[in-house]
Amino acid sequence: MKKFLAVLLGILLVFSLTAMAACKEDKDSGESGNMVGGNFTQEATEEEISEVLNTVQSAFESGSIVGEPVDGKWNFGLEMNADLDLTVAAEDTTESIALKSDYQFSYGLVEEGVGAGSRLVKGAGAAALTANGETISFDFYNDESYVYIDMSTVQTGMKLKISLDSLMSGGSYVPVPDDAAEVMAAESSGEVTGTIDVSEFMDMLDQLSIKVYVDTSDGLKVKVSATQESLEKIVALIVAEAGGSVSEEMLPSFETDTKIDFYLALTEDGELKQMGLDMDFGMTLPIADVNSSQASYINISADGTVSVKAYAGDVTLPSDLGSYMDVEDMGSAPGGLSAVAA
């Protein structure tokens, strides 16, 4: 089960590395100007990067990234925050979108003793989405089976729920197994398998102009920094790997001050403290026009932060979740969606 959650963290990590989120303020390489408070004044050596790769790989494969049980009970939590501004401009049209969101997630499992195997999954959050001056606010929750959305601030009585099975592509969601305690016990003795070729990894970083900074003074803190040059090289590599032939004028271009910083912080025991993305982003995307010999362009800029932290607090769910209407039943309900707000 720890490995199951470690995989989810891995997905979050990949998402953070590829998401288009950006930072509103300049971040320097010093200890006071970055998301995890690390000292990132010196670029990491090959030896330091090798140690980082081994530590992170071990933390994920052993499950230590999500902690260890205490007195027969195991608890793990996450707090996620997003503050994003996105602007998309095409010809005479400009769309501006702002998203602010926070979410707390708690997972508890009794490994041994009274109630062994019992678990508790809870999540609660709030979000505000602003588009061209109009704001929609809503709260959302989850338990082991459903995601609940309270949009009563938009329309009175609009409280909906959707099963995780349906949300995760019609049944591809993998539920927490009933034998979670036994699974965790079997996995706890697992050893790291396979290693990453550091020389190849260093060559890739150099090829893509990506810089890595490491601070090991208090656990492990890592900063991975990419620039305009990095993104253009990544695009060129993707095109080459795909075997495509794209003219230079049809490739996206990035603003010169574009900068993407990914952060990861682990404790000395390999447990997650924080990871996140911090970017200043601007891109011009050519769009082919079949009715013209010239391409049109879309300009995209993003500004904000995305952060995921370890969370040790509790999560409180509303007492009326049983009254939320299942979206799968809305089609058959008299009045459909209008009946929800009645």
Q: Report pLDDT digits (tens) over 96-148.
A: 999 999 999 998 876 666 556 677 889 999 999 999 888 999 999 999 889 99
Q: Average model confidence (pLDDT) for the chain?
A: 79
Domain ranges of the chain: 2-47+58-67+86-94+197-310
The residue among 132, 126, 125 whose CA lies nearest residue 86 is: 132
Residue 296 pLDDT > 50: yes
d(CA 273, CA 57): 16
Q: How confident is the model at residue 342 (pLDDT cuts 50, 70, 90)?
A: very low
Q: What stretches of 111-158 adopt beta strand conformation (E)?
A: 119-131, 134-142, 146-150
Indicate left, alpha or beta for 189 from its phi (over 0: left) and psi (-120 to 50: alpha): alpha
The residue among 39, 26, 84, 78 whose CA lies nearest residue 223 is: 39
Instruction: Say which residues have a Cβ less than 8 Å from residue 135's Cβ, sequence separation at least 6.
Output: 128, 129
d(CA 309, CA 43): 25
Q: Which of 14-18, 174-178, 256-260 has the highest mean pLDDT?
A: 256-260
User: At 202, is the secondary structure helix, strand, or coil?
Assistant: helix
Q: How confident is the model at residue 161 (pLDDT cuts 50, 70, 90)?
A: very high
Of residues 95 and 115, the one with the higher pLDDT is 95
d(CA 213, CA 159): 46
Residue 230 pLDDT > 90: yes
pLDDT of residue 114: 58
| Portion of the chain with pLDDT greater than 70, in percent | 73
Q: Lowest-confidence range among 6-10, 54-58, 290-294?
A: 6-10
Single-letter amino acid code for the residue at 79: E
Of residues 341 and 82, the one with the higher pLDDT is 82
Q: Lowest-confidence range among 135-149, 150-164, 216-230?
A: 150-164
Query: Per-residue pLDDT averaged across 211-238, rounded?
Result: 92
Query: Per-residue pLDDT averaged across 62-81, rounded?
Result: 83
Contact 46, 202 (CB under 8 A): yes
Q: Which residues pair with 325 in a beta bridge?
A: 160
Of residues 163 and 22, the one with the higher pLDDT is 163
pLDDT of residue 24: 40
Q: Write out pLDDT tens, residues 14-37.
A: 544 444 333 344 444 344 457 898
Q: How confident is the model at residue 322 (pLDDT cuts 50, 70, 90)?
A: very high
Strands 93-110, 73-90: pairing kind? antiparallel
